[in-house]
Amino acid sequence: EGQLVESGGGLVEPGRSLKLSCAASGFTFSNYVMDWVRQAPKKGLEWVASISTGGGNTYYPDSVKGRFTISRDNAKSTLYLQMNSLRSEDTATYYCAALPYPYWGQGTLVTVSS
Amino acid sequence: DIVMTQAPLSVSVTPGESASISCRSSKSLLHSNGITYVYWYLQKPGKSPQLLIYRMSNLASGVPDRFSGSGSETDFTLKISRVEAEDVGIYYCGQLLENPYTFGAGTKLELK
């Protein structure tokens, strides 16, 4: 059964950077479009980024475009999210997922605060 | 952006009874390939979301057949028959037709 495990969350000051990782196992990672989805405390779900199977195409909503970069290493079955110029409104639990499929990680909490 | 509007925002159900959750999209989610790209997820308390229904009416692996999805191009329904205690949580509809992918605000299901 497929499993996704995120890491890299933590407390960071506004304006700083953080990189999240997501290790996949139990399915052929390279065959799946992958996504990052976040959930602010007590709020709903917000899609943050998608990446094609080969990594050549990436997509972002306006709220993070130009600040966040999604990437993947298919040889390592790992997904990444580089987050720059972080703001307080980026505070959330970040989930790695393959949205059309039943693959979601457990989430990693990112807190942006001074 | 496609707006997904869910109703109600909360529902209280007696165990064994049925429940329905509605979701409306601001644009047709029917692709020219004949697939309707609406998905339903359940987030149980303290857990990650889990996929329940994909492409409007298809049951995800391992999901009880008490759950069913239906709808048209812009109006969708998740029905839960014979609600059980394990069904408690927040239900989200989402559209994966086009970027940016968007979700409804969620419907909280509680037991009476």
What was the pLDDT predicted at A1? 83
Rounded to a whole number of angstroms, the distance from the CA of B53 to the nearest CA of chain A is 9
What was the pLDDT predicted at B50? 96
B14's tokens: 């007696």
What mean pLDDT, rounded, does chain A reach?
Answer: 97
Closest CA to B59 of B34, B39, B36: B39
Contact at CB, A104 and B49, closer than 8 angstroms: yes
Contact at CB, A62 and B100, closer than 8 angstroms: yes
Contact at CB, B50 and A102, closer than 8 angstroms: yes
Distance CA A82, CA B79 (A): 39
User: For the segment A28-72, what is each residue's pLDDT rounded down to a tens digit?
Assistant: 999 999 999 999 999 999 999 999 999 999 999 999 999 999 999
Contact at CB, A45 and B60, closer than 8 angstroms: no
Q: A72, exposed or middle or buried, with CB in 10 Å at 0-12, 13-18, 19+?
A: buried
User: For the segment B26-80, what is each residue's pLDDT rounded down to a tens digit?
Assistant: 999 999 999 999 999 999 999 999 999 999 999 999 999 999 999 999 999 999 9
Question: Which residue of B6, B40, B48, B91 to mutate against A (max A Cβ within 10 Å)?
Answer: B48
| Predicted confidence (pLDDT) at residue A101 exceeds the cutoff of 90 | no
Residue A33 sits at the chain B interface (C-beta within 8 Å): no
